[in-house]
């Protein structure tokens, strides 16, 4: 398989400074403070590269003030690095990457700068890259170490992505990533601004284990949806391997920031060598999720970080980070 699971060793972490004032409005300062805190925390584990617009450089440098973080001036439209960075692969024992098309989720008019970020990064680090015109955000796919890729039809098959038919997408992804199977889920979380990215509902963690979001609120629109999703994944994976384990991770209680209900998930976390960085929402589920993660990742420290204001913009820790794999030999 060419794709490199996220839990394998990282060389660096890529991030982007919040800049979309139309999206964040008056809370952009809070989002930036949370981003700085997240970057500083991750920098204790691995080298961080923070990209920001020229006009935000001095503020970014002031907020971060960390010699372990490289601040790079780059024209950006938004801060969702997971979706605009290259997808890294292993080919012929060499780290390479694929730059896919990004179109602002088919709904935001300002995306042309973000669509150039992948090329900039591959050139910056001298990583051999391929270009593919499929519209594919990094948060729209997740994958395990067995050649299984997971995605949602509500994203990749959405007319606003201008992608070809399903069979053509499958052919492209299977060829590019040397996949054994593609497991399709009809949709992600309701009202997700991305149309339902998979990284809010499912995360493979290795050794046939998968974290899956679960709603315990029967009045939640996602309750029945997530139950169906779990059944689909279980059915598909069980036909491949009978030893899989799906671990329920509760969704947080209702969270409102600036009169906006957040679409939030603890699944949206980041792996590092010694830690797992998990969103903290200051709700009752925080402690429950901490205990679950602590039991699962016995060899890592679980660090929960407040990110509600980042989440206001539509994503969370996984969405604003992209891990660059370290060793591919």
Mind listing the pLDDT tens digit for each residue in 18-37? 999 999 999 999 999 999 99
Establish if 34 belongs to a structural domain.
yes
Q: What H or E segment, with its residue span, contains residue 16?
A: strand 10-16
Share of the chain above pLDDT 90, in %: 93
Establish if 2 belongs to a structural domain.
no
**pLDDT tens digits, residue range 99-138?**
999 999 999 999 999 999 999 999 999 999 999 999 999 9
pTM: 0.97
- Confidence label for 329 from pLDDT (cuts 50, 70 and 90): low
**pLDDT tens digits, residue range 246-257?**
999 999 999 999
Establish if 3 belongs to a structural domain.
no
Whole-angstrom Cα distance, residue 295 to residue 18?
33
Whole-angstrom Cα distance, residue 214 to residue 222?
8
Establish if 240 belongs to a structural domain.
yes
With 0-12 CB in 10 A as exposed, 13-18 as middle and 19+ as buried, what is 93? exposed
CATH number at residue 92: 3.75.10.10
Identify the residue with better confidence: 327 or 63.
63
The number of domains in the chain is 1
Q: At what angle do helices 28-43 and 57-64 cross, to 10 degrees?
A: 50
Domain with 209 in it: 10-325
Establish if 281 belongs to a structural domain.
yes
Establish if 5 belongs to a structural domain.
no
Q: How much is the pLDDT for 180? A: 95
Average pLDDT along the chain: 96
């Amino acid at each position: 398989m060419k794709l490199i699971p996220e839990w394998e060793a990282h060389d660096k972490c890529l991030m982007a400074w919040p800049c979309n004032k139309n999206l964040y409005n008056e809370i952009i300062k809070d989002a930036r403070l949370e981003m700085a805190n997240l970057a500083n925390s991750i920098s204790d584990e691995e080298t961080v590269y923070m990209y920001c617009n020229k006009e935000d450089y001095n503020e970014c440098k002031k907020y971060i003030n960390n010699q372990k973080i490289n601040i790079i001036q780059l024209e950006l439209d938004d801060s969702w690095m997971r979706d605009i960075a290259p997808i890294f692969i292993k080919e012929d024992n060499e780290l390479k990457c694929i730059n896919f098309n990004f179109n602002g989720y088919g709904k935001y008019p300002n995306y042309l700068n973000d669509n150039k970020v992948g090329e900039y990064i591959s050139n910056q680090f001298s990583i051999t890259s391929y270009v593919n015109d499929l519209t594919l955000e990094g948060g729209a796919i997740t994958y395990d170490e067995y050649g299984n890729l997971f995605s949602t039809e509500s994203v990749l098959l959405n007319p606003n992505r201008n992608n070809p038919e399903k069979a053509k997408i499958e052919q492209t992804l299977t060829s590019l990533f040397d996949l054994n199977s593609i497991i399709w889920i009809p949709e992600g979380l309701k009202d997700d601004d991305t149309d339902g990215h998979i990284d809010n509902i499912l995360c493979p963690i290795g050794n046939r284990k998968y974290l899956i979001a679960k709603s315990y609120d029967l009045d939640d629109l996602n309750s029945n949806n997530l139950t169906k999703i779990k059944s689909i994944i279980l059915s598909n994976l069980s036909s491949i391997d009978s030893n899989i384990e799906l671990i329920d991770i509760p969704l947080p209680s209702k969270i409102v920031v600036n009169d906006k209900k957040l679409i939030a998930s603890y699944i949206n976390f980041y792996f590092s060598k010694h830690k797992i960085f998990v969103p903290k929402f200051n709700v009752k589920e925080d402690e429950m999720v901490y205990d679950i993660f602590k039991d699962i990742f016995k060899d890592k420290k679980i660090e929960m970080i407040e990110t509600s204001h980042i989440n206001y913009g539509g994503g969370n820790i996984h969405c604003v980070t992209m891990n660059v794999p370290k060793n591919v030999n």
